[in-house]
Amino acid sequence: MRVRYGRNNKGKLIRQAEIYSLDEHNISRDRIDRDARKIISRLHSVGYEAYVVGGAVRDLLLDRTPKDFDIATDATPNQIKRVFRNSRIIGRRFRLVHIYFANDKIIEVATFRALDSGERDEQIFGTVEEDALRRDFSLNALFYDPDNEEILDFVGGVKDIRKKVLKSVIPLDQTFEEDPVRMIRAVKYSVGTESRIPFRLRRRIRKSAPLLHQCSVSRMSEELFKILQSGTATSCFSKFRELNLFETVLPQYSVLMDERGQEYENLFFSDMEALDRQVADGEKRRSHMLALLLDSYLNETGAFEKGRQTSFKEVIKRSKGALKPLIAPNREVDEAVKSILRKRKIWNNQKTTKSRNRRRKGKPTIATQVGG
């Protein structure tokens, strides 16, 4: 392993990063997306730094196939756009470049961020080291150069992955104040990589859990759907309970668990185990995942009580209330509820067809009734 040195603001020589060669990390350039390699080689050829970054490097070190190959560079968005005609700058406050290829393929290229880029309205560009120190966890702060087949590591991420420990790059008294969603991501990465969360990080998450109330609902929804689709929902939600996050992530379910005790908690996690098995078998429909999340909750809260007549619209309303603050598209909630009602044999397809026909003719519709 080689060491990269730099100088501090007093001119003193300091250790900056560890550089891992091919025989130390075993990631061949052949495992990198071909178009991503072309982008990096092109940027190198015109004098810029460029690396595959983040989750792709982490997954390759874990011998997994990455979903995406994001790239980071010292070229600014305008400079990147001048190099690649098949590109477009996106974003306002934080500008990125999307480079387009055949079959709707997009590779995202970002410019290195400065250390203080999160504290100002305008985007501040920085060095590769500053960009590493702006990332959330050490396992996501690695830079891979496919031309030289080297990993550049400023934060000890390679060793943390090998030791299976999750470490925050940003100081603990700052990271969740800056972005509360990182607590959800901490759980997701811990479970997904089978990494332990050290005591100080666990304590900080428990203390910072209420900050999730302040974060963007759309971002939180995005992270929760990733968990439902991950095949590790059972373990993630269990860790949410342990770290005081569950009551903010799924507050209605938390209330029901507190009211009904262990019986409903066991039922909830049984449903999540079923979801994980189905995801492992290839299930990808969000509506199906929502159905598994909603079915027992709706039943436990009396939506399907025998003799009760409840309109389809009311079940939809109950479902959306149960999911808050999670936001799901109306179409997916509708399909989830229909799936639940079919499973319980209280959904009448003929009534649905008649309702559609009446709607087309401009006639009033009769709400589909569910009940015993």
Which residues are tagged catalytic? 68, 70, 136
Name the residue among 62, 64, 66 with its Cα closest to residue 52.
66
Which tokens sit at 113? 């961020």
The Cα–Cα gap between 72 and 40 comes to 9
The Cα–Cα gap between 271 and 300 comes to 13
The Cα–Cα gap between 228 and 294 comes to 13
The values of phi and psi at residue 217, to 5°, are -65, -40
